[in-house]
Amino acid sequence: MLQVYYYYPFSAVSDPGKLYNDLRWNLSRPQGFEAVMRVRCSQGLQVQEYAGSFCKRIPTDIDLPAIDCDKTIMVTFKYDDKFQENSECAFQCALLYTTVYGQRRIKVINLSLPCTSMLSNLFRTADLDTQFACILKQGLFHLKTGKYLNFLQFREQIINLCINILHAYRKFCATVSSSGQLILPEALKLLPLYTLALVKSIGLRNDGRLDDRCYWVSHVMSLSISLAIPLVYPRMISIHDLTEKENDGSLSSSTIPLSSEHINDDGIYLLENGEDCLIYVGNMVNPDTLQKLFGVTSVDGLSTQLVLQQFDNDLSEKLSDVINEIRQQRCSYLRLRLCRKGDPTGTHFLSYMVEDKTPGGLSYVEFLVHVHRQIQTKMA
């Protein structure tokens, strides 16, 4: 399966580590060649379409010149018969491939899932990561095949899909409540946030570079489920106060919403989306903190071509631990970029604040109001 690597702007100072590790992982990760994949399912279901990067010569199979552990293929099913309550549906994925040692093998994955006629059961057990990844991949697949004529139509369809999902829950599953209250299913309560983030993402913005957009689309089509949400709604944490935080072995408890109101001029923040790691430095950061992390006492002394060094102090060691933890979680040697307030790098960092109001988009609060009004209109 084809994979594109994109280094822009390339820095001979800070990017050799990323290039080396990408090449090393590309050669050493588990992978197979000359692969053929087929998905089967129970009677009453049938495969409607495949989405991803592959060749397709016959309707039932897809051909993959190469496949590795980082790639994902989405399969959409449709049902043409009724199922009995509490019965099960079976799925099987068979992959015939050649190993790096020249051996021909078949890998088979079987899955059996219970059937239900209760829509509330579907909402209660919904997996947001998978749901969002499917929305994203299916939308781009339809864009590539011509079902969506342009990115504007794609953005509109994504928003409408979010509204329709929440309207179905409000109409068929929610208990009686005030019509003035926005009702969200617990498992999908962040769907509006991630939908807004997707609409504002690099790949769908009108002001993005063509190369950035092309790489984004290519990357998303084979992206793994766990990386779909971080790509459009990155994780942000403060690093100027790492030594003050409880060491519970997790970064999730210290994440910050992507809004500029949570960014202070005397703070330093790390933002990562599975591909890049941006470190934003405010213009009023304590010189002692700068010295501990970067070996300088002034923001003006920082170079945007960052090669992070580990100094002999707790704060520097914790920052190195955080970056290494993120790289292990993402299975990627994230590029490090330093961003400073007041210059283009700082503007680039703030473009990820998807909860803010932008010239061409709503704030998160405004988007929730819009979604609520559309649901009320459908309920009327």
Q: Which CATH code fits 1-116?
A: 2.60.40.1670
Residue spans in the chain of domains classed CATH 3.40.20.10: 234-242+259-350
Stretch 365-372: mean pLDDT, rounded? Answer: 97
Give the pair of three-digit tokens for residue 103. 């051996």
pLDDT band at 177 (very low <50, low <70, confident <90, very high): low
CA distance 78 to 94: 19
Stretch 49-57: mean pLDDT, rounded? Answer: 89
- Specify whether domain 234-242+259-350 bears CATH 3.40.20.10: yes
In tens, the pLDDT along 278-325 reads 999 999 999 999 999 999 999 999 988 888 889 999 999 999 999 999
Q: Is the pLDDT of residue 380 over 90?
A: no
Please list, residue by residue across 247-270, b when 16 or more beta carbons sit within 10 angstroms of its beta carbon and e when fewer do: eeeebeebeeebeeeebeeebbbb
In tens, the pLDDT along 92-139 reads 999 999 999 999 999 999 999 999 889 999 999 999 999 999 999 988
User: Tell me, what's the pLDDT at 248?
Assistant: 57
pLDDT band at 85 (very low <50, low <70, confident <90, very high): confident
In tens, the pLDDT along 215-235 reads 998 899 889 999 999 999 999
Stretch 249-261: mean pLDDT, rounded? Answer: 80
Residue spans in the chain of domains classed CATH 1.20.120.730: 118-226+367-380
Q: Is the pLDDT of residue 249 over 80?
A: no
Q: Is the pLDDT of residue 333 over 80?
A: yes
**Which secondary-structure segment (H or E) carries 195?**
helix 191-199
CA distance 89 to 83: 9
Stretch 160-176: mean pLDDT, rounded? Answer: 91
Stretch 342-367: mean pLDDT, rounded? Answer: 93
pTM for the whole thing? 0.93
The CATH number, out of the four listed (1.20.1260.10, 3.40.50.300, 1.10.4080.10, 1.20.120.730), of the domain defined by the range 118-226+367-380:
1.20.120.730
**Which secondary-structure segment (H or E) carries 155?**
helix 151-172
